[in-house]
Amino acid sequence: MARKPIQSAGVILIAILGLLVAYPLSVGPAIATYGAMDEPQSLGDFIETAYSPLADLPEPLASWLDLYIGLWER
């Protein structure tokens, strides 16, 4: 009996797509946590480093991300 090969490409694709969605969506809770903790410097440096790639988003996505962050800052 021949065994079926493991179909890991589908799992890897789903994981990559999940991370592409989860990464920008995690910036809102991170900023809310940062504000709730009286803005400690070490957390601010981490947030700036971790989310600096989001500063280079194209215009429609950047404005949506700013709107989303604004919802978490309230």
- The mean pLDDT of the chain is 84
39 assigned to some structural domain: yes
What are the φ and ψ backbone dihedral angles of 7, each rounded to 5 degrees?
-95, 70
3 assigned to some structural domain: no
11 assigned to some structural domain: no
pTM exceeding 0.85: no
What are the φ and ψ backbone dihedral angles of 4, each rounded to 5 degrees?
-75, 140
Tally of domains in the chain: 1
CA 11 – CA 17 distance, rounded (Å): 10
Would you state the pLDDT for residue 1? Answer: 60
Alpha helices in the chain, H assignment, sequence order: 8-25, 27-36, 41-51, 59-73
- Confidence bin at 63 (pLDDT 50/70/90): very high
Please state, in angstroms and as integers, the Cα–Cα distance from residue 18 to each residue in 12, 25, 27, 46, 62, following that order: 10, 11, 15, 22, 19
Given a cut of 80, whether residue 2 has pLDDT beyond it is no
Residue range of the domain that includes 43 = 26-73
